Amino acid sequence: MAEARSEFAVPPEHAALAEKLLAWFDLHQRALPWRTTYDPYAVWLSEIMLQQTQMERAVEYFERWMRRFPSLNSVAESSLEEVLKAWEGLGYYSRARNLHKAARMIQERHGGVPPSDYASLRALPGIGDYTAGAILSIAFNQPVPAVDANVERVFSRLFDIDAPVKSAVASDFIRQMARMLIPPGKARVFNQALMELGALVCGKKPLCASCPVSARCQARRLGIVAERPVPGKKVTYAALEIISGVLVHQGRLFLQKRQDSGVWAGFWEFPGGRLEAGETPEQGVVREFMEETEFAVKVQTSLGIVRHAYTRYRIRMHCFICAFADSVGGRDFPEPVLHAASAYRWVLPDELTAEGGYVLPAGHRKMLDAWLPELRKAASCGNALCAL
């Protein structure tokens, strides 16, 4: 085993530190649904859900998901659209796509049983170093480190790491220390204890008085807890102005399906896009309809603005109810010429509830959550002007 780097302080009493941490975890660990059996599928699913998701929300989705997909094979045997629908609201949908793809690979290559070796796990889509380590240690109790942001924060303080935790020298040190500290036969509880400590005690605002290993914390001894971890490069966010329009006609709403590549591939949405320089939101939504569907529409009313964030973007989406610019006779539903979608539907408003079968991007779901009653009203009288 390689020796840990010497750039940072390493306490000599490794075993004592681990014992203190395990005793604390035994008393304070949260009752989480995936901890009842440590089934590999449940552990894997929980780790994927917890990426970019708060614990309370992940637990809610995990329990709902397990009722719908109680086994890995049930995921593999379902369509991608069913999987995406169950994931709706969690965001970062590549996680669900990779989960579905990996489930089918496990079914084909491993007989439906999640592999228990590092190389096979890393070969699955959506599983990186941390997730592989978490599955191997928590589900299979193998002595493999599982270093997440919580562990990085704990170690940055315990060992006074005076470099950004994502830097090569700090990352290498943390992983080696995380491996060295695992007590024999106790990888499952030790790795969870480290993460739990970071989540409950050694957070951004640390509760040092409640920490079971505070006596061995170098940052606390030096009075620099607030300065660890050392900040990395600041993330900058881009502001986007987006427009989106709900076209109402003969009691139904126009919906289109995104193409099979790009962001939110295969999701259903209302036409729209980025607001261009020099145009008003009303002008922008009329332009987007023409560019995407060749429908000539007019704005009937503004619903308001939805604020949404994803990856490195901060979005303001201007939402409108629209109607055809010219009268369309009878009960006909004009056929669009699709330029930014692969399919379309004329749907009733109640088909777009969270329980319906359509998977929508989070911003469009927020729009429906806020203004579905207004859209029902517009559709009920067959004319968007009714919503005014």
Distance separating alpha carbons of residues 147 and 125, to the nearest angstrom = 19
Long-range interactions of 168-177: CB distance < 8 A, separation 24+? 169/5, 169/7, 170/8, 172/5, 173/4, 173/5, 173/7, 173/8, 174/147, 175/145, 175/147, 176/2, 176/3, 176/4, 176/5, 177/4, 177/10
Integer angstrom CA distances of residue 131 from 88, 247, 285, 353: 22, 43, 42, 33
Nearest to 69 by CA among 105, 106, 99, 47: 99
Please give the torsion angle defined by the CA atoms of residues 257, 262, 264 and 266, in that order, rounded to the nearest 10 degrees.
40
Report residue 203: phi and psi, to 5°: -85, -165
Burial class (CB in 10 A: 0-12, 13-18, 19+), 139: buried
Burial per residue of 177-210, b for 16 or more beta-carbon CB atoms within 10 angstroms, e otherwise: bbbbbbeeebbbbbbbbbbbbbbbbbeeebeeee
Burial class (CB in 10 A: 0-12, 13-18, 19+), 373: exposed
Catalytic residue among 47, 88, 152, 292: 47
Nearest to 39 by CA among 67, 71, 65, 61: 71
Active site (annotated) includes residue 19: no
Beta bridge partners of 246: 321
Distance separating alpha carbons of residues 296 and 129, to the nearest angstrom = 51
Q: Catalytic residue numbers?
A: 47
